[in-house]
Amino acid sequence: MPVTYTPPKEGDDLSVANMTSPFTALRTGVNALEEEDVEREALRDVHLPNLINTSRFTDGLCAVDESSGGFQEYANGLAMSGGSTFPVNLQGFSATASDPGGLTAPYGPLTEATISPSRYDEEGWRIVCNSGGTTYAIEVPCVAMELDGDDTYTGCLVRASCNFRRSSDSPGGANVAAYGISIGIGWEDTGGNKYVIERSVRHFSSSAVNRGDISTFAYIEDADLNAGVDRVTKFFLVFATCQLTPTAANVGYGWEAQVDNGIITVWPMRAGSL
């Protein structure tokens, strides 16, 4: 935007009428510079807006498990799409009400499960959370927003991980080939509905990652928010056990697993029109 104004001429009165118009024009022009208004590359990084505006993430861009040594025992198996048959339902959350610690489904473990191979206690994802309540859930809330640029960001790079501490079947055990653990990244809309980004779901053999870290990530765009219809209010980490070699005899077979040190990071992106 060019700065156009009529400068006072020699002999003009120093009047309000003569001053207001050029001052206003100068202010408007300089306060709305564009690249073409100045010499190329004259504008420096201080002229650019910040890539991240953290005001949309009032609780920060990161959530960690603060238990520092505690762990949670999960006994939830992935839900099946049709009763007890494959394929699994990757959108199913546990609906079991709460556990004695006051955690409300689907947050945290349902019970203090006993480590031994047994059927699952429940079906569906649980959001990783220690027994301290949902305050310590591995989730990052945000001011409700679309991811199409209208609400600042065009996407969010979300990474989440937790430590798989122990399984109910030791490495080398009879059932290790069938036992797996699953994690994924989920999000919640303004109506409180929870979803899982299915491409973020990772299944691990309990043997391969025994006592190690399991991680996943996803770049979440507007199309992931129910085809851009909804707005996201939080991102979170979900966990479930699963079986890797389903048979008719053990479909739906779940087991207990211990998890600790969950963490999630959200990196909002302003990619603009690429």
Partner 1 sequence: MGDISYPNTISVGTVVSEDVRENLFVPKSTPDSLAVIDGFLDEDNLASAVSSEIPKGLVRRGSFTRPETTGSTLNLDYFREPFDGSWTMSWDAAQERALAIPGCTRRFNIPWDDCKAVYISFRLEVVVDAGYGFDVGNGDYYDTRDNSGTLLDDGSFTGGTYGVNSDYPGETRLMLFYDGEPVKGVSRIIQNGVQGVAKPFNYSGTVDNPNDPMFSAVRHWSGSAIIDPNGPFGSGSYQLSASAADQLAKGFHNVSIRIAHQVYQVRVRTRHITVIPLR
- Under the rule (CB under 8 A), what is the footprint of partner 1? 1, 14-16, 19-20, 23, 26-27, 30-35, 41, 43-54, 57-66, 68-69, 149, 152, 159, 161, 163, 165-166, 170-172, 207-213, 215, 261, 263, 265-267, 270, 272-273
Shortest separation between residue 57's beta carbon and partner 1, angstroms: 6
Q: Give the residue among 143, 139, 127, 233 at the shortest CA–CA distance from 189.
A: 233
Do residues 98 and 210 lie in contact, with contact meaning Cβ atoms separated by under 8 Å?
no
**What six digits make up the tokens of 9?**
């001429």
**Closer Cβ to partner 1, 125 or 153, answer by number:** 153
User: Ramachandran region of residue 267, left (φ > 0), alpha (ψ -120 to 50) or beta?
Assistant: beta
Q: Which of residues 53 and 84 has its CB atom nearest to partner 1 in the complex?
A: 53
Q: How far is the CB of 132 from partner 1 (least distance, A)?
A: 11
CB of residue 71 to partner 1, shortest distance in Å? 10
Q: Give the contacts of 54 (CB within 8 A, at least 6 positions apart).
A: 60, 61
Helix (H) or strand (E) holding 145: strand 139-145
* Nearer of residues 91 and 207 to partner 1, judged by Cβ: 207
> Which lies closer to partner 1 via its Cβ, residue 41 or residue 229?
41
Closest among 124, 91, 121 to 107, alpha carbons compared: 124
- We find the least distance from the C-beta atom of residue 272 to partner 1, in angstroms, to be 5
The minimum distance between CB 81 and partner 1, in angstroms, equals 31
Q: Please state, in angstroms and rounded to a whole number, the distance separating the CA atoms of residues 201 and 224.
A: 14
* Beta carbon nearer to partner 1, 13 or 82: 13
Integer Cα distance of 127 and 100 in angstroms: 17
Q: Cβ neighbours of residue 150 under 8 Å, at least 6 residues apart?
A: none
**Pairwise CA distance, residues 3 & 36, whole Å:** 12
CA distance 94 to 127: 9
Query: Which lies closer to partner 1 via its Cβ, residue 79 or residue 266?
Result: 266
Give me the residues paired with residue 32 across strands: none
| Minimum distance, C-beta of residue 171 to partner 1, in the bound complex (Å) | 6
CB of 88 to partner 1, least distance (A): 25
126 vs 159 by CB, closer to partner 1: 159
For residue 238, the SS3 value is strand
What does the alpha-carbon distance between residue 116 and residue 169 come to, in Å, rounded to a whole number? 7
